[in-house]
Amino acid sequence: MDSLTPNRLAVLGSPIKHSRSPLLHRAAYRQLDLDWSYDAVEVKSGSLAMFLSKVGPEWRGLSLTMPLKQEVLPFIDDCDRVAQLTGSVNTVLLRKVNGRGTLSGYNTDVAGLVRALAEGDITRATHVTLLGAGATAASALVAAAELGAEFVTVLARDPQKAQPLIELGRSLGVVVDLQGFGGSTPVDSDVVISTLPGGTVLPAPLPLALRKRAVLFDVAYSPWPSGVATSWQVAGGSVLDGLGMLLHQALIQVRVFVTADPFEPLPDEAAVLAAMRGALTRDTGPHDAVER
């Protein structure tokens, strides 16, 4: 990064062909009058090290989706607090520190989820239920803590594999209860956050009383409606899709790439967000991949 101004960015993952991240980021950089490129690059699990070895001085940053958010950790020089908590990095800033190239890792999923929930008028919750226990579930648990949740129920196909969420909950001051699908699911949750792929079919329907009472936030957005969302709609419950999270986590990524600080607002940030939202709204074609 000595001789060139770094202006190249991309989202990496697999599958990645139908990612909407390029639409969002390109709209932001046009609004900011920055001549930066942003592409989608297919990088499968096990191939990230090879990709990083070829990154040149023109690169400014990377967005990461499945399956790379944890695979990248050994290559990161420093992480923000949220990435450390969740063990998940979805944003990498390439820069020079003391003459040496470094990779700084961030997690913008938590902020994206909290901001998307706020747009749905959800700013507080005492009891949250999480569906799924993958990498996104850790971010959802931190988001639940930021909403003030005291109790989080996690429903997973294999509760044993979800044990790290109990320790994460303790570090956040949240009591985490792990259960399998089909068990005695509590119905007093304020919010249910599904981190399951859109095409997932649950082994048993969730209680009708829960679907009527709690708002469902489904991080999926394609195919839509997801199976979980459909079950909520049939019960007459309230549903929010994952496009809001995608939008807002991307805005925080743009902050990182432009200012090197996820908490530093962009110049005329309201206009940048409006441009990104507009690009997402205009994009009405089919999308088969869900970014996580």
- Whether 47 has a pLDDT exceeding 70, the answer reads yes
> Is the pLDDT confidence value at 219 over 70?
yes
> What distance separates the 2 farthest-apart alpha carbons in the chain?
62
**pLDDT single digits (tens) 253-270:** 999 999 999 999 999 999
pTM of the model: 0.92
| H or E segment and range at residue 269 | helix 269-282
Would 3 be classed as within a structural domain?
no
Whether residue 221 is predicted with pLDDT greater than 90 in this model: the reply is no
The CB-based long-range contact list for 41-49 (8 Å cut-off, 24+ gap) reads 41/10, 41/11, 41/12, 41/16, 42/13, 42/14, 42/15, 42/16, 42/17, 43/12, 43/13, 43/14, 43/16, 43/68, 44/14, 45/14, 45/71, 46/71, 48/12, 48/72, 48/75, 49/75
Reply yes or no on whether the pLDDT at 290 is more than 50: no
- 189 and 272 fall within a common domain: no
pLDDT at 12 over 70: yes
Phi then psi for residue 181, to 5 deg, are -65, 140
Work out the pLDDT band at 4, boundaries 50, 70, 90: low
Is residue 290 in a domain?
no
Same domain (yes/no): 132, 228? yes
Active site residues: 69
Instruction: Give the containing element (helix H, strand E) for 19.
Output: none
The parent domain of residue 98 ranges over: 8-108+246-282
Do 58 and 98 have their domain in common? yes
CATH code of residue 182: 3.40.50.720
Domain assignment of residue 289, yes or no: no
One domain for residues 117 and 193: yes
Q: What is the pLDDT of residues 155-204, one digit of tens each?
A: 999 998 899 999 999 999 999 999 998 877 889 999 999 999 878 888 88
Q: What is the CATH number of the domain that holds 95?
A: 3.40.50.10860
Q: Above pLDDT 70, what percent of the chain? A: 95
Q: Does 40 share its domain with 52?
A: yes
| Residue 127 forms part of a structural domain | yes
Whether residue 98 is found in the same domain as residue 60: yes
- Whether 129 and 93 map to the same domain: the answer is no
Q: Identify whether residues 130 and 172 lie together within a single domain.
A: yes
Over 70: is that where the pLDDT of 119 sits? yes
Cβ 104 vs Cβ 95: under 8 Å: yes
In a shared domain, residues 46 and 32: yes
State the pLDDT at residue 1.
Answer: 35
> Is 229 a domain residue?
yes
How many domains, in total, are found in the chain? Answer: 2
64 located within any domain: yes
In terms of domains, do 149 and 166 share one? Answer: yes
* H helix intervals, 87-186: 109-119, 135-146, 164-172
Residue 2 lies in a domain: no
Query: What average pLDDT score do residues 102-126 get?
Result: 97
Q: Is the pLDDT of residue 90 over 80?
A: yes
Dihedral, CA atoms, 6, 7, 11, 13, nearest 10 degrees?
Answer: -40
Per residue in 122-147, pLDDT (tens digit) is 999 999 999 999 889 999 999 999 99
Q: Is there a single domain that holds both residue 104 and residue 114?
A: no
Answer whether residue 1 is part of any domain: no
Are residues 222 and 259 located together in one domain of the fold?
A: no
Helix (H, G, I), strand (E, B) or coil at 199: coil
